[in-house]
Structure 1
């Protein structure tokens, strides 16, 4: 899948479009497929057949997903492998030895941009991070989309609710989330990266309550994977723009079941400063010397 040296995983660019394009379609294409199917059923089918299509889509929304499916596990491995080689992705871990397989971590991945494509490089299906098991926290709306909910569940995604967050950490999963979320897309500007963090402290509070390390992560090049405007536009297949993902040093925290607002604010400031420092130290090596990071 790639070469590892000094905490850096480089995924070689794949020339096999018969593997990378299907992986992209499976990872990102379900939304477009559903929209196209609904449009086709609405415009070209008689009412009875159109209702049948909508009924089948509803069935796929309600069918339980087996997280332990062997087929799902193999499919997630396939998607992660070829997504990482499509762009390709370079994953740089500053202190790989600082991570313990028996420890759960809270990863704050930025930016969201149009879509946080590179986040899968941190998952256990990719196999590079020295973590026993991981969960990605994503918008709950995703899990009401036919087909996509199955694929993303197999990839390790779960709805970003407080209950899921805490229960996943308690079960030993490292949780990876984009603190700024979808809202960052409304602040995007040409020539800079946007992180909507100043009002997002919930993930810090949970990390403090459980005494788990916070880890800043930044992905360079992701914003260029799509053409966009305000309101942001989306194209079905992203450009093959190299992604350079940097994983910072864990911020160790003492367990505090009932942190005050001041204590949460202090740790939150540490995380924001660590993310800014991570960005500043690696942007030149990632090929973005003049890039600016704006934190709102």
Structure 2
């Protein structure tokens, strides 16, 4: 049946400004959908309408400056233990020992401010008191954590999607959400409840490298909100046996090292065909997702020999220096708007043993989906003259 002329082509939810009273697991998706802005234009939303940095409560801003900085240093701290031990006990010069003490003091101060000052404030504000002690298996409720809520406010997060996936289009099927670019921090995924609530009611499990799930504190917190290892058997089991959604940052760590510029955005996707094989085996749709703003939040320091890139890809974790707001090493991101745009689904027929030809065919369709969603919304984001290039 053909759509009516007044049927919206695209929907946009200003997630950053979602009222706090609606930020609860028990609130039905319809309450969120009622707040959507729509357009009937096939070309998408108007010029520069999706790139606004919204005012943010100063307490939220301070908490994210502290919290994101702490999270970033905790991700790399386990890999610094041996070098710091060598500096302190091996080199043993005053400057080396002072450097180690500075790093440890930096982590201690951030930890104190986040856990003893900020956490009580926002646990009360979002009625999430005790969420860190809740049932670890209650993934859906655990996704409503104040830290990720504040990230979305800090980055003015909004979400855009086409009529083709608007509820109830995906209500009966698990979905593979595949987002690019990774950037230093894929902050667009941190509106965790939206992926488990808005387009269908199936819990969404995001994936990460197994090594990340073993990092103290960081791994524990990720497991509490439903993260799974980025391994094909685990993803396939989640889609088929649990019939839950899965979210994948498709370009992975390699995406951090793509030198996007003011003229083009680079997406490391030409070799990312394994996810298509999984989708064909599961018989689920893949949703191409492009997150505008990810590459602008930080500047990555890339060594000319590619050593850090090789090590990062080998260990599946970032080992390269990056700078955010105020040039802060491993600090908070710049306050750029993150606009997450979902494309039309790539429907993959259930195929027990996909051939390489089938994998190539649907991978090409996936790339076409990324190109389409980028071109549809780049003008509204203020990137009219930018192009997307697959590498």
1:289 is matched with which residue?
384
What does 1:115-134 correspond to in 2, within 5 Å?
Answer: 115-121=185-191, 123-124=193-194, 127-134=197-204
Q: Secondary structure at the match of 1:84?
A: helix
Q: Secondary structure at the match of 2:36?
A: strand
> Alpha-carbon deviation of 1:109?
0.4
Q: Is 1:135 aligned to residue 205 of structure 2?
A: yes
1:180 is matched with which residue?
251
1:233 is matched with which residue?
321
Cα distance in 2 for residues equivalent to 1:269 and 1:183: 20
Cα distance in 1 for residues equivalent to 2:138 and 2:55: 27
> Alpha-carbon deviation of 1:16?
2.3
Q: Secondary structure at the match of 2:136?
A: coil
Alpha carbons of 1:115 and 1:209: their partners in 2 closer, same or farther (altered >3 Å)? same
Q: Is 1:189 aligned to residue 260 of structure 2?
A: yes
Alpha carbons of 1:230 and 1:99: their partners in 2 closer, same or farther (altered >3 Å)? farther
> Alpha-carbon deviation of 1:23?
4.9
Cα distance in 2 for residues equivalent to 1:167 and 1:275: 26
Q: Is 1:5 aligned to residue 77 of structure 2?
A: no
Cα distance in 1 for residues equivalent to 2:377 and 2:371: 10
Q: Secondary structure at the match of 1:272?
A: helix
2:129 is matched with which residue?
none
TM-score between both structures, scaled by the size of structure 2 = 0.63
Q: Is 1:68 aligned to residue 137 of structure 2?
A: yes
> Alpha-carbon deviation of 1:4?
2.2
What does 1:80-119 correspond to in 2, within 5 Å?
Answer: 80-95=148-163, 96-97=166-167, 99-119=169-189
Which is higher, the Rg of structure 1 or of structure 2? 2
**What is the total number of aligned residue pairs between the two structures?**
277
TM-score between both structures, scaled by the size of structure 1 = 0.81
2:12 is matched with which residue?
none
Cα distance in 1 for residues equivalent to 2:360 and 2:189: 26
Cα distance in 1 for residues equivalent to 2:243 and 2:65: 29
Which of 275, 291, 309 matches 1:203? 275
1:152 is matched with which residue?
222
Unmatched runs of 5 consecutive residues or more in structure 2: 1-16, 19-34, 40-44, 89-96, 99-103, 105-133, 304-319, 323-329
Cα distance in 2 for residues equivalent to 1:169 and 1:188: 33
Conserved 8 A contact 2:205-2:246: yes
Q: Secondary structure at the match of 2:145?
A: helix
Cα distance in 1 for residues equivalent to 2:200 and 2:67: 26
What does 1:262-273 correspond to in 2, within 5 Å?
Answer: 262-273=357-368
Conserved 8 A contact 1:135-1:156: yes
Q: Is 1:161 aligned to residue 227 of structure 2?
A: no
Alpha carbons of 1:291 and 1:207: their partners in 2 closer, same or farther (altered >3 Å)? same
Cα distance in 1 for residues equivalent to 2:53 and 2:389: 31
Q: Is 1:222 aligned to residue 294 of structure 2?
A: yes
Cα distance in 2 for residues equivalent to 1:77 and 1:6: 28
Q: Is 1:275 aligned to residue 370 of structure 2?
A: yes
Instruction: Give the alignment's Cα RMSD to 1 decimal.
Output: 3.3
